[in-house]
Amino acid sequence: MSRTLIVAAAQTGPVARGDSRPAVVRRLIALLREAHGRGARLVVFPELALTTFFPRWWMEDAAEIDSFFEREMPGPETRPLFEEAQRLGVGFYLGYAELAEQAGRTRRFNTAILVDRAGRIVGRYRKVHLPGHRDHLPDRPYQHLEKKYFEPGDLGFPVWRSMNANIGMCICNDRRWPETYRVMGLQDVELVLLGYNTPIPSVMTPQYDHLAAFHNHLSLQAGAYQNACFVVGTAKAGQEEGSNLLAGSCIIAPSGEIVALAASKGDEVITAACDLDLCAINKRTTFNFAAHRRVEHYRLITERTGAAPPAG
Please identify every residue annotated as catalytic. Answer: 47, 127, 172
Does 173 engage in binding with ligand ING (CB under 6 A)?
yes
CB-CB contact of 66 with 99 (8 Å): yes
Q: Which of 67, 164, 205, 264 binds ligand ING (CB under 6 A)?
A: 205
Q: Nearer Cβ to ligand ING, position 32 or 246?
A: 246
Q: What share of the chain is helix, strand, coil (3-state, %, to 5)?
A: 30, 30, 40
Minimum distance of ligand ING from residue 205's CB (angstroms): 5
Q: Nearer Cβ to ligand ING, position 170 or 260?
A: 170
Distance, in Å, from the CA atom of 47 to the CA atom of 12, rounded to the nearest integer, reads: 10
Q: Which stretch binds ligand ING (CB under 6 A): 13-21, 195-203, 235-243, 271-279?
A: 195-203
Q: Which of 54, 181, 196, 287 binds ligand ING (CB under 6 A)?
A: 196
Q: Nearer Cβ to ligand ING, position 204 or 301?
A: 204
Distance, in Å, from the CA atom of 239 to the CA atom of 287, rounded to the nearest integer, reads: 40
Q: Which of 176, 182, 265, 283 binds ligand ING (CB under 6 A)?
A: 176
CB-CB contact of 244 with 223 (8 Å): no
Please give the full DSSP string across 65-107, using - where no structure is assigned: HHTTSBSSSS-TTTHHHHHHHHHHT-EEEEEEEEEEEETTEEE
Does 301 engage in binding with ligand ING (CB under 6 A)?
no
Q: Nearer Cβ to ligand ING, position 205 or 286?
A: 205
* Residues in touch with ligand ING (CB under 6 A): 131, 172-173, 176, 196-198, 202, 204-205
